[in-house]
Amino acid sequence: MYEITTKLQLSHSVALFKIKAPKIAQKRKAGQFIIIRINEYGERIPLTIVDSDTTEGTITIISQEVGKTTGMLGALEEGDHILDVVGPLGKPAEIKKVGTVVCIGGGIGTAPVYPIAKELRAAGNKIISIIGARSKNLLILESEMQSISDELFVATDDGSYGHHGFVTQVLERLIEEPVTINMVLAVGPLPMMNAVCNVTRPRKLHTMVSLNPVMVDGTGMCGACRVTIGGKNRFVCVDGPEFDGHEVDFEELLRRNRSYFTEEKMAMEELTYHEGPRCYERNI
């Protein structure tokens, strides 16, 4: 059992949790993730490790309520327990000094961007960050990103804050200014990462993305998370989650991520029926 020591509501459907897991806190590196199972009936879901505190022995995760399991997680409070937490999983992000890195976080994707951007900064890179969300109240980690960025841009789809439009528009503006960019790191919804790659590909601008496929075990034993990278089959849980964005077959991944659309909806209805309207009502 793993205790939730801190919970912070970041937006109406996004919460930050600190979970007591001293060994993981000590071992984890930027770019790695955990798999959790909330209770005995639960499924295993992957979540990025956003930060850790070795003194407290905690790891930080950020979760958005998008379905039954994240809905149940969102309903947990400080002092509650999560049944299983396994990690750190996946390859750590490659941290090198390359010069200027543009770090782009879309929605909840800012959570995986933050730890990597922080390490890239510590390695001596100049960090220009672009974080985006549908609207202002869905924006997360703004001050944290601010603290580790040389420059920070914000974009909202509805124009309620910062640039009115997409993160890709801010990126294009930067490229045209022109700012010398040595690398782009982009994490967010698949269409957003795909759009970023479409901007950087013709300019041969090295772009890393962090993928979020369906996972079961997270240790390389099943291949649920397989994606085509540069024409080859890769398991995101052991070969990733970070890959060269220009090699990713985004369309395939998007289709695979929708595999259980019907079942996911059914699970949500089940939750509504059994537990009454709680966390998920806000999401649907």
Partner 1 sequence: MTDKQRKNIPRQEMREQDPLERIANFHEVPYGYSEEQAVNEALRCLQCKDPKCVSGCPVNVNIPWFTKLVTEGRFVEAARKIKETNPLPAVCGRVCRQEDQCEKFCLRGKKGKPVSIGSLERFVADFERENEEVSIPEIPKWTGKKVAVVGSGPAGLTVADDLLKRGHKVTIFEALHVPGGVLMYGIPEFRLPKKIVEAEIEYLKKMGAEIELNSVIGKIDTIDGLFSDGYDAVFVGTGAGLPIFLNLPGENLVGIYSANEYLTRVNLMRAYRFPEYDTPVLRGRRVVVIGGGNTALDSARTARRLCPEEVTVVYRRSLEEMPARAEEVRHGGEEGVKFRFLTAPLRFIGDREGRLKAMEFVRMELSAPDESGRRRPLPIAGSEFQMDVDVAIVAIGNDVNPLIQNTTPDIETGRGGNIVVESDSGATRKAGVFAGGDIVRGGATVILAMGDGRRAAASIHRHIMKE
Which residue ranges make up the site for partner 1 (CB under 8 A)?
23-24, 27, 37, 41-44, 68-69, 83-89, 216-217, 219-224, 226-228, 233, 238, 251-252, 255-256, 258-260, 263-264, 266-267, 270
Would the annotation count 210 as a binding residue?
no
Nearer to partner 1, 153 or 235 (CB): 235
Would the annotation count 64 as a binding residue?
yes
Tell me how far, at minimum, the Cβ of 39 lies from partner 1, in Å: 9
Nearer to partner 1, 12 or 258 (CB): 258
Q: Is 210 helix (H, G, I), strand (E, B) or coil?
A: strand
Tell me how far, at minimum, the Cβ of 119 lies from partner 1, in Å: 18
Tell me how far, at minimum, the Cβ of 136 lies from partner 1, in Å: 33
Tell me how far, at minimum, the Cβ of 116 lies from partner 1, in Å: 18
Nearer to partner 1, 26 or 147 (CB): 26
Nearer to partner 1, 158 or 263 (CB): 263
Contact of 132 with 167, CB cutoff 8 Å: yes
Q: What is the dihedral of CA 263, 193, 110, 122, to 10 degrees?
A: 140
Would the annotation count 63 as a binding residue?
yes
Q: What angle do CA 16, 196, 101 make, to 5 degrees?
A: 70
Give the β-pairing of 100-106 and 126-133.
parallel
Burial class from Cβ neighbours inside 10 Å (0-12, 13-18, 19+) for residue 21 reads buried
Contact of 168 with 191, CB cutoff 8 Å: no
Neighbours of 127 (CB within 10 A): 19
Tell me how far, at minimum, the Cβ of 24 lies from partner 1, in Å: 7
How far is it, in rounded angstroms, from Cα 240 to Cα 233? 12
Dihedral of CA 111/257/164/204: which sign? positive
Would the annotation count 237 as a binding residue?
yes
Nearer to partner 1, 204 or 232 (CB): 232
Tell me how far, at minimum, the Cβ of 246 lies from partner 1, in Å: 19
Burial letters 243-259, b for 16+ CB under 10 A, else e: bebbbbebeebeebbee
Nearer to partner 1, 161 or 260 (CB): 260
The structure tokens 């580790």 sit at 148
Give the β-pairing of 58-64 and 51-53.
antiparallel
List binding-site positions for [2Fe-2S] cluster. 222, 225, 237
List binding-site positions for FAD. 62-64
